[in-house]
């Protein structure tokens, strides 16, 4: 049997980040073979994941990445159990590796994502490495990839707990237009719109909102006909709060986001619109 020296154990620890005891045991099991020891640690991480399945994982990171041409973007939420792990540099590298793998390849679901490779390793192997390093539940909670013929801007809030992607309709861009689109991404982060414009709100949703406001007014003692008018007025407020284009621009309350879009169009010399957006906040209900 090969001699398992402290230097060999340290080398494996440097490669994997696993505990000294785990590294020593893996080297003994592999008879000193470094690659086999790494595989043993990965398998240990995968096996231990099942034991942690019933734990709560409410911490983590939200990462977004955009290609240099701004036509492809990904957004990913990865969870762990504690803030200590989420702030660890290894966990941050893991999150960025998952996002990087998805940016370079397509995956329709988690199983396909885990099979993707990044810098020579599959996402599953990288995840197993993380599970071997940290005695916590670690999971890829959700992800999306956008491919556009326009321009995608992103914004990651400090701490990487909130991220936004905004897709515009034009691939013609300027520094000023880019800055405005990033402002819109920040607006979405702060104000949490549900829709881009009021035409996206279903008739059922509108009736539901009107009924809620009407019932409130009647409960406050208003007559039904008065309550109906109040509900109609409240519906306008709902549109202004929930529809991105109707929101007051946080950086300049004299403007709406629709006004900002007009400024971008004027600067570029072409009419643009917001085609879609994604907003991920760590741990939010889905």
The whole-number pLDDT of residue 52 equals 64
Return mean pLDDT, the chain: 91
Protein fold of 202-242: GTP Cyclohydrolase I; Chain A, domain 1 (1.10.286)
Spatial separation of the C-alpha atoms in residues 8 and 42, rounded to whole Å: 18
**The domain defined by 6-51 carries CATH number 1.10.760.10:** no
Is the pLDDT score of 124 beyond 80?
A: yes
The whole-number pLDDT of residue 120 equals 92
Looking at 88-223, list the stretches that DSSP marks H as alpha helix, in order from N- to C-terminal side.
89-104, 110-115, 123-133, 175-191, 203-219
Q: Which CATH class is domain 52-147?
A: alpha beta
Instruction: State whether the Cα torsion 254-259-261-262 is positive or negative.
Output: negative
Taking only the tens place, the pLDDT of each residue in 211-265 is 888 888 888 888 888 888 888 888 999 999 999 999 999 999 999 999 999 999 9
The torsion angles phi and psi of 142, rounded to 5 degrees, stand at -165, 160
Taking only the tens place, the pLDDT of each residue in 42-87 is 777 655 555 666 677 889 999 999 999 999 999 999 999 999 999 9
Is the pLDDT score of 92 beyond 60?
A: yes
User: What is the pTM (predicted TM-score) of this model?
Assistant: 0.81
* pLDDT band at residue 98 using 50, 70 and 90 as cut-offs: very high
Domain spans in the chain, listed from the N-terminal domain onward: 6-51, 52-147, 202-242
Spatial separation of the C-alpha atoms in residues 148 and 233, rounded to whole Å: 37
Is the pLDDT score of 136 beyond 90?
A: no
Strand 162-168 and strand 274-281: the pairing is antiparallel
The helix or strand, by DSSP H or E, that contains position 39, with its residue range, turns out to be helix 34-51
Taking Cα atoms as reference points, which of 9, 18, 29 lies closest to residue 129?
18
Taking Cα atoms as reference points, which of 138, 126, 156 lies closest to residue 64?
156
Fold match between domain 52-147 and domain 202-242:
no
């Amino acid at each position: 049997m090969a001699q398992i020296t402290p230097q060999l154990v340290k080398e494996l620890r440097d490669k994997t980040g696993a505990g000294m005891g785990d590294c020593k045991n893996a080297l003994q099991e592999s008879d000193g073979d470094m690659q086999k020891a790494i595989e043993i640690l990965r398998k240990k991480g995968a096996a231990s994941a099942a034991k942690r399945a019933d734990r709560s994982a409410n911490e983590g990171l939200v990462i977004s990445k955009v290609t240099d041409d701004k036509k492809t973007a990904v957004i990913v939420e990865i969870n762990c159990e504690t803030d200590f792990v989420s702030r660890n540099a290894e966990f941050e590298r893991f999150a960025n590796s998952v996002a990087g793998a998805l940016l370079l390849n397509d995956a329709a679901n988690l199983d396909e994502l885990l099979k993707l490779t990044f810098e020579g390793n599959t996402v599953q192997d990288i995840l197993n490495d993380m599970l071997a390093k940290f005695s916590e539940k670690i999971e890829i909670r959700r992800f999306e990839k956008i491919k556009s013929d326009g321009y995608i801007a992103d914004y990651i809030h400090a701490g990487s707990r909130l991220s936004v992607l905004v897709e515009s309709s034009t691939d013609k861009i300027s520094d000023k237009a880019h800055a405005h689109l990033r402002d819109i991404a920040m607006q979405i982060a702060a104000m949490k719109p549900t829709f881009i414009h009021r035409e996206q709100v279903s008739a059922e949703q509108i009736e539901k909102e009107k009924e809620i406001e009407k019932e409130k007014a009647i409960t406050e003692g208003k007559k039904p006909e008065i309550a109906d008018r109040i509900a109609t007025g409240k519906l306008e407020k709902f549109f202004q709060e929930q529809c991105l284009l109707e929101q007051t621009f946080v950086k300049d309350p004299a403007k709406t986001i629709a006004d900002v879009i007009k400024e971008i169009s004027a600067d570029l010399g072409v009419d643009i619109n917001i085609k879609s957006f994604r907003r991920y906040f760590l741990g939010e209900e889905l």
